[in-house]
């Protein structure tokens, strides 16, 4: 069976890694991938957002099944382009991808179908948005409506900060047309977590729980990023909280999509705030999270490709989950998230990868003169298994200590928030 994975990041390397383990695979392709993914797959030199070119390639090459990593190709309609040609692709249609592609669409949808989320207002007029922020005060959250690579939400602790965010998004267009419209919402108190399910219509299969670390610096300080590390499971999601997530968020969302006449098949990701009132949705994504995909896929046992195909075709699927903990630390380039440096030689990869229970997933990497060099903001995701969170963290950071490149930055507190929920020993 020929398989295609679309995307360039750490999530896509992890998908390639997991799917390549399936005995069903005869050949696996990645468009465009990175230095890590190219070791175990064939590079396709087509941009992930060139959906028509990718669909034509898949048709020519006889690709049997495609899995899409990032949001941009989904929002651009890659599923529609493949379906039109009779090709199987795991990911939602352009219409269904609005849940991530437009925050205003998602917020209006949640309001209509009673999915718990923060109170909000949507603005296309800059002056009206400014007036609203001044009236409401802080803390307050300002979000670009469209795709912004995980960086379009700004948690503002002061009115001045909120006005600055509005100017950057709506006037300076730091996110381009994604900032033509903004969503301004109440600040929610609580702890964040990620809940991802595989969806086919009204059927869904939960993946293990996880927690991302969005801010650049230790202690959740600094600007929002695409994510600086993640671990699984997330103990803040207790069995009771998980039941509420399923009933109040996942099932209401799938029912609402059905009522809207929108068929959703793919990964649905609910970015949550676990508040004193219960779980509330911060955002929906229509794909696996990054960096959550890496520790999540490490915990899924067995043939994940077969599970995806069976689920795609409507058969009942149950996933066997590794009981061990997993934790991943993102190594980023100096200047990330605004202007990351590129072209730095990475050393120590082989030493890190030789450690027991460690996998190094590549993100922003490429090859030059036989050497692996940095080629983006988030460069590597260093992940480990452990019998408990403490061991997974220790192994991951031990591996991190073996890797070097000029300007390397990373958080040193990935997973720490979980310890308060765990029994002390």
- Compute the distance between CA of residue 50 and CA of residue 29 in angstroms, rounded to an integer: 16
Strand partners, 28: 3
390: phi then psi, degrees, rounded to nearest 5? -60, -45
Ranges under pLDDT 50 in the chain: none
How does DSSP classify residue 261?
Answer: T
Q: Omega into 32 within 30° of 0, i.e. cis?
A: yes
Q: 232 by DSSP, 3-state: which? A: strand
CB 380: neighbour CB atoms within 10 A?
Answer: 32
Q: Could you give all domains of the chain from N- to C-terminal order, each with its CATH number?
A: 2-93 (3.40.50.20), 125-180 (3.30.1490.20), 191-321 (3.30.470.20), 325-421 (3.90.600.10)
pLDDT of residue 152: 87
- Compute the distance between CA of residue 51 and CA of residue 66 in angstroms, rounded to an integer: 12
Structure tokens, 248? 């109040």
Strand 89-90 versus strand 300-301 pairing type: unpaired
Cα of first residue to Cα of last residue in the chain, in angstroms, is 48
Q: What is the DSSP string of 147-188?
A: --TT--EEEESSHHHHHHHHIIIIIS-TTGGGGSSEEEEEPP
Using alpha carbons, select from 364, 359, 210, 379 the residue that is nearest to residue 298. Answer: 359
Could you tell me the pTM of the whole model?
Answer: 0.95
Question: In degrees to the nearest 10, what's the CA dihedral of 130, 131, 136, 138?
Answer: 30
CB 20 within 8 A of CB 14: no
């Amino acid at each position: 069976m020929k398989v295609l994975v679309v995307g360039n990041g750490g999530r896509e390397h992890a998908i390639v890694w997991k799917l390549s383990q399936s005995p069903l695979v005869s050949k696996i392709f990645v468009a465009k991938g990175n230095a890590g993914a190219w070791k175990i797959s064939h590079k396709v030199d087509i941009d992930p957002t060139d959906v028509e070119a990718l669909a034509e390639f898949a048709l020519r090459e006889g690709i049997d099944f495609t899995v899409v990593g990032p949001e941009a190709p989904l929002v651009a309609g890659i599923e529609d382009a493949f379906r039109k040609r009779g090709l199987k692709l795991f990911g939602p249609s352009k219409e269904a991808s609005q849940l991530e592609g437009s925050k205003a669409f998602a917020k209006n949808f949640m309001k209509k179908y009673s999915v718990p989320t923060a109170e909000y207002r949507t603005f296309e007029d800059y002056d009206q948005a400014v007036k609203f922020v001044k009236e409401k005060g802080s803390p307050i959250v300002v979000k670009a409506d469209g795709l912004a690579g995980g960086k379009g939400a700004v948690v503002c602790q002061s009115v001045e900060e909120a006005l600055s965010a509005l100017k950057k998004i709506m006037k300076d267009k730091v996110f381009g047309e994604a900032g033509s419209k903004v969503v301004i919402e109440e600040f929610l108190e609580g702890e964040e977590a990620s809940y991802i399910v595989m969806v086919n219509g009204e059927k869904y299969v939960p993946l293990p729980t996880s927690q991302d670390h969005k801010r650049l610096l230790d202690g959740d300080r600094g600007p929002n990023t695409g994510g600086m590390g993640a671990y699984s499971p997330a103990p803040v999601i207790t069995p009771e909280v998980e039941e509420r997530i399923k009933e109040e968020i996942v099932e209401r969302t799938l029912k609402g999509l059905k009522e809207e006449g929108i068929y959703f098949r793919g990964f649905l990701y609910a970015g949550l705030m676990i508040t004193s009132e219960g779980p509330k949705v911060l955002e929906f994504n229509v794909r696996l999270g990054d960096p959550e995909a890496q520790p999540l896929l490490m915990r899924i046992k067995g043939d994940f490709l077969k599970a995806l195909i069976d689920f795609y075709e409507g058969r009942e699927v149950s996933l066997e989950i590794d009981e061990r903990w997993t934790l991943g630390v993102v190594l980023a380039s100096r200047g990330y998230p605004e202007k990351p440096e590129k072209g730095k030689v990475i050393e120590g990869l082989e030493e890190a990868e030789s450690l027991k229970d460690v996998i190094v997933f590549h993100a922003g990497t490429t090859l030059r003169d036989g050497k692996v060099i940095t080629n983006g903001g988030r460069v590597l995701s260093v992940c480990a298994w452990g019998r408990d969170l403490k061991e997974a963290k220790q192994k991951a950071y031990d591996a991190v200590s073996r890797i070097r490149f000029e300007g390397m930055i990373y958080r040193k507190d990935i997973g720490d928030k979980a310890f308060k929920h765990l029994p002390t020993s």
